[in-house]
Amino acid sequence: MEAGSFHSVEDFRLDPKWLIDPKHLFVGPRIGEGAHAKVYEGKYRNQNVAVKILHKGDTPEEALKKEASFMREVNMLSRVQHKNLVKFIGACKEPVMVVVTELVLGGTLRKHLLNLRPRTLDRRVAIGFALDIARAMECLHSHGIIHRDLKPENMLLTADQRSVKLADLGLAREETLTEMMTAETGTYRWMAPELYSTVTLRQGEKKHYNHKVDVYSFAIVLWELLHNKLPFEGMSNLQAAYAAAFKNVRPSAENLPDELAVILTACWKEDPNSRPNFGQIVQMLLHYLSSISPPEPVAPPRLFGHENAILPPDSPGTSSMVAILPREDMRGTPNSNFECNEKGLFSCFNCC
Whether residue 342 contacts residue 25, with contact meaning beta carbons closer than 8 Å, is answered with no
Q: Dump the DSSP string for 130-142.
A: HHHHHHHHHHHHH
The backbone region for 223, taken as left when phi is positive above 0, alpha when psi lies in -120 to 50, beta otherwise, is alpha
Q: How many CB atoms lie within 10 A of CB 133?
A: 28
Q: Which residues 6+ apart lie within 8 Å of 352 measured at CB?
A: 27, 30, 38, 40, 53, 332, 333
Backbone φ and ψ of 23, nearest 5°: -65, -20
**Annotated binding-site residue? 165:** no
Report the alpha-carbon distance of residue 253 to residue 223 in Å, rounded.
Answer: 8
Q: Give me the DSSP letters along 236-259.
A: -HHHHHHHHHHS------TTS-HH
**C-alpha dihedral, 76 to 77 to 83 to 86, nearest 10°:** 130
How far is residue 90's CA from residue 321's CA, in Å, rounded to a whole number?
A: 20
Catalytic residue among 132, 149, 168, 329: 149
Q: Is 258 among the residues known to form the active site? A: no
Task: Please name the residue ranges forming H helices in the chain.
Answer: 60-77, 109-116, 123-142, 212-227, 237-246, 258-267, 278-291
Q: Which of 332, 334, 340, 327 is nearest to 42 (CA)?
A: 340
- Give the SS3 label for residue 82: coil
Please give the positions annotated as active site: 149
Residue list for the binding site: 52
Residue list for the binding site for ATP: 52
